[in-house]
Structure 1
Amino acid sequence: MADDKKLHIVMFPWLAFGHMIPYLELSKLIAQKGHRVSFVSTPKNIDRLPTKLPPHVSPLLTFVKIPLPQVDNLPANAEATSDLPYDKVQFLKKAFDDLKQPLSDFLRTSDADWILFDFVPYWIGQEIGPNLRIKTAFFSIFILQSMVFVGPMSGDHRMKIEDFTVPPDWIPFPTTVAFRHFEIKKVFDFVDGNTTGVSDLDRLKMSAHYSDLVVVRACPEFGQDWIQLLGDVYGKNIFPIGQLPTSEYNFEDENSAWQSIKEWLDKQPKASVVYVAFGSEAKPSQDELTEIALGLEKSELSFFWVLRTRLGLSDPDPIELPKGFEERTKGRGVVCTTWAPQLKILRHDSVGGFLTHSGWSSVVEAIQSEKALILLSFLADQGIISRVLEEKKMGYCVPRNQFDGSFTRVSVAESLKLVVVEEEGKIYRERIREMKDLFVNKGRDEKLMDRFLSYLKTHRNAK
Structure 2
Amino acid sequence: MQWLDAQPPDSVVYVALGSEVPLRVELVHELALRLELAGTRFLLALRKPCGVDDSDVLPLGFLEQTHGHGHVAMGWVPQTTILAHAAVGAFLTHCGRNSLVEGLLFGKPLIMLPIVGDQGPNAWSMEGNMVGLQVRRDENDGSFDRHGVTAAVRAVMVEEETRSVFVTNALKMQEIVADRELHERYIDGFIQQLIFHVADGNSDTAAPDPSS
| Separation in 2, partners of 1:372, 1:445 | 18
Residue 294, structure 1, aligned to residue 39, structure 2 = no
Amino acid at match of 1:267: A
- Match for 1:376 among 103, 109, 113? 113
| TM-score of the two chains, using structure 2 as the length reference | 0.79
Amino acid at match of 1:428: F
Corresponding position of 1:332: 69
* Aligned residue type for 1:340: V
- Quote the residue 1:285 is aligned against: 24
The Cα shift of 1:440 comes to 1.5
1:3-402 alignment runs, 5 A limit: 261=1, 263-310=2-49, 315-316=50-51, 320-402=57-139
* Cα distance in 2 between the residues matched to 1:392 and 1:444: 16
Instruction: Report the alpha carbon displacement of residue 360 of structure 1 after superposing the two structures with TM.
Output: 1.1
SS in 2 for 1:406: coil
- Larger relative contact order (Cα-Cα within 8 Å, sequence gap ≥ 6): 2
Deviation at residue 445 of structure 1 after TM alignment? 6.5
Specify the code of the residue in structure 1 equivalent to 2:75.
T
Query: Aligned partners of 2:112, 2:44: CA distance in 1, in Å?
Result: 15
In structure 2, give the amino acid aligned to 1:397. Answer: Q
Q: Quick check: 1:294–1:409 contact (8 Å CA) kept in 2?
A: no
Larger Rg: 1
SS in 1 for 2:147: helix
Q: Deviations over 1:392-428 (max 9, x none)?
A: 1122101111331223443211210110121232211
- 1:335-381 Cα shifts (integer Å, max 9, x gaps): 10021100010011110011110111111111110111000011121
Amino acid aligned to 1:337: M
CA contact (8 A) 2:43 2:72 kept: yes
Separation in 1 of the partners of 2:183 and 2:147? 41
> Structure 1: which 5+ residue stretches go unaligned?
1-260, 447-463
1:291/1:408 contact within 8 Å kept? no
Give the corresponding residue for 1:61. none
TM-score (norm 1): 0.37
Report the CA distance between 1:287 and its aligned residue: 2.6
More divergent stretch after superposition (265-274 vs 406-415)? 406-415
Give distance in 1, aligned partners of 2:24 and 2:67: 24
TM-aligned CA deviation for residue 296 of structure 1? 0.8
- Partner Cα separation in structure 1 for residue 148 and residue 183 of structure 2: 38
Q: 1:390 to 1:300 in 2, by over 3 A?
A: same
What code does the residue aligned with 1:376 have? Answer: L
What is the aligned partner in structure 2 of residue 435 from structure 1? 173
Cα separation, 2, equivalents of 1:282 and 1:433: 29
CA spacing shift, 1:444–1:398, aligned 2, 3 Å = closer
Of stretches 289-298 and 395-404 in structure 1, the one that deviates more from structure 2 is 395-404
- SS of residue paired to 2:72: strand
CA distance in 1, matches of 2:3, 2:75: 16
Change (3 A) 1:445 1:353: closer
**1:421 and 2:158 correspond:** yes
- Where in structure 2 are there 5+ consecutive unaligned residues? 185-212
1:108-146, Cα deviation, whole Å (9 max, x unpaired): xxxxxxxxxxxxxxxxxxxxxxxxxxxxxxxxxxxxxxx
Decide whether the 8 Å contact of 1:277 with 1:357 is kept in 2.
yes
Alpha-carbon contact 2:5-2:87 (below 8 Å) kept: yes
Corresponding position of 1:404: 141
One-letter amino acid of the counterpart of residue 5, structure 2: D
AA matched with 2:47:
R
Query: In structure 2, how many angstroms separate the alpha carbons of the residues matched to 1:444 and 1:367?
Result: 13
Paired residue total: 182
Distance (Å, rounded) in 2 between the aligned partners of 1:374 and 1:401: 17
Give the Cα separation in 2 of the matches to 1:400 and 1:444.
Answer: 33
For 1:54-113, what per-residue CA distance to the aligned partner results, in whole angstroms no more than 9, with x for missing partners? xxxxxxxxxxxxxxxxxxxxxxxxxxxxxxxxxxxxxxxxxxxxxxxxxxxxxxxxxxxx
